[in-house]
Amino acid sequence: MNARLINLYQIPADWQVILEKIVENDGEMTDDIVVQIYALINHGKSKIEDAVLAKRNLEFIAEQAMAQARLFQKEYEKCKAIAETWENAANKIGQAMIPVLEITGKVQTAAGTAFLRKTPNYTFTLKAGANYFDLPAEAWRQRDPELNRQVLREMAQANRLPEQIAVSKSETTSVCLKRPTPTKTAESIETTNTTKGEAA
C-alpha cells in the first residue's frame, strides 16, 4: 500500500514533520525518528496530548491498510476460484482425450505434442489391529509434543504448575486511548503495548 498522511486531527508542525517521515518510510520507525519522538514527549503534558493525536493519525493509516488487505484477500479468493473453474474445464477436456491417445499415441499439434504419462498413486492405511509403533521408525511420523499454554496459564494463575515446568512471567504496560463517542454507553479502547519480563 502506498500510504499517504491523512490528518484526522490538527497537530503541531514538529509532529507533522515526524509523521511525514514515518509515512515516507512506509511505517518504519528509524532510530532517528524514535529519538525525535522521545525528545518531544519528554517536554511535558502538552506534548503527550500532541502525541496522542499523532498516534491516532497513524492508527487511521493502519486501519486503511488493513481494509485494503481484506479487499485484496477477497479478490484473491475470487480470482483463485475462477482459475480453478477454468483449470477444471481444461482437465475435463484432457480426460476426454485419454481413450483416443491410448490408441493413437503421441499427436503433434500447433500447441505442442500431446501424449499420455502414467503416474502411480498410492493410498496407505494401517491394517486393523496393527500399531504404529510396530512399524519401522522411518515409516511413520508424528508432530513433536508441545505444551498447552492455555492450560498452563490457568494452572499458573492457580499456583499449581507441575514442578517440571519452568515459567517466566512478564507484565504488559499499555497506552490506552478512549475515543469520544456520541453516547455514554459506547466505548472504544485502543492499546499500544510494551512488555517487560522477569524470570520466575
Residues sharing a CB contact under 8 Å with residue 115, sequence separation 6 or more, in sequence order: 101, 105, 106, 107
Residue 192: what pLDDT?
53
Residue 172: what pLDDT?
81
Residue 186: what pLDDT?
46
Q: Along the 200 residues of the chain, how does pLDDT read in single tens digits?
A: 455 566 667 788 888 888 888 888 888 889 999 999 998 888 777 778 888 888 888 888 888 889 999 999 999 999 999 999 999 999 999 999 999 999 999 999 999 999 999 998 888 888 898 888 888 888 988 888 888 999 999 999 999 988 898 998 888 877 777 777 766 554 444 555 555 555 54
Residue 4: what pLDDT?
59
Residue 143: what pLDDT?
84
pTM comes to 0.55
Q: Sign of the C-alpha dihedral, residues 15, 17, 19, 21? A: negative
Residue 199: what pLDDT?
53
